[in-house]
Structure 1
């Protein structure tokens, strides 16, 4: 089964343009906020860094678990869809043929075999 391309060439161009614009915005943000800052961690421990570093870490701390959950869900959905598609191509089971009850027997009462009398 061959996969179709996800995007047309125009959509690929727009996707690339989006990522380029996002990169420019992030670089400009980092340049304007490149100021030293100190963060008190605990006790006497102080972390001195530039401001974009803790902001990037905070963003990644929130984004990466959500992204991992999204990818796992997509993987599971794709796996289930492929399993459903492959099971649909399997021949259906043979139909069950119901035999009508013999004359003189009741459907409601199960047939109980009588003990043998020739002993």
Structure 2
């Protein structure tokens, strides 16, 4: 599986490098009248991809954080229940009845 992931990232990197080499030209971005930002096209595209990726990444990280906290809570509850069950079993150890002990 790691080979596929590595291959994907290598392919994506190669595509990004090819795009950058083929489109290394200045682009004028009019932010509002009187303010123009001149940048290279690959920087603009990479910046847009990163800005678009940020919300998805934040949702992923918060979901993982929330689920890991939930798993930790469930594991500690399960451990407490197991400890209580073990204590209940050990406190109810059977004692032999007196008439059977004499036999």
Same fold (TM over 0.5): yes
After the TM superposition, which parts of structure 1 deviate over 2 Å for at least 4 consecutive aligned residues? 91-94
The structure with higher relative contact order (CA 8 Å, sep 6+) is 2
Distance 1:19 1:86 in 2: 38
Q: Residue 43 of structure 1: CA displacement?
A: 2.3
Q: What is aligned with 1:87?
A: 77
Unaligned 5+ segments in structure 1 are 1-10, 95-119
Corresponding residue number in structure 2 for 1:69: 59
Give 1:110's aligned residue. none
When normalised by structure 1's length, the TM-score is 0.62
| Alignment correspondent of 1:58 | 48
Name the TM-score, length of structure 2 as normaliser.
0.71
| d(CA) in 2 for partners of 1:17, 1:58 | 24
Q: CA RMSD in A?
A: 1.8
- Structure 2: gaps (5+ residues): 89-103
Q: Aligned-pair distance for 1:47?
A: 1.0
How is 1:24-35 mapped onto 2 (pairs within 5 angstroms)? 24-35=14-25
Return the match for 1:38 from 28, 31, 48: 28
Aligned residue pairs total 84
Q: Which residue of 1 aligns with 2:11?
A: 21
Indicate the structure (1 or 2) with the bigger Cα radius of gyration. 1
**How far 1:13 moved relative to its partner?**
2.0
Aligned equivalents of 1:20 and 1:62: distance in 2?
Answer: 21
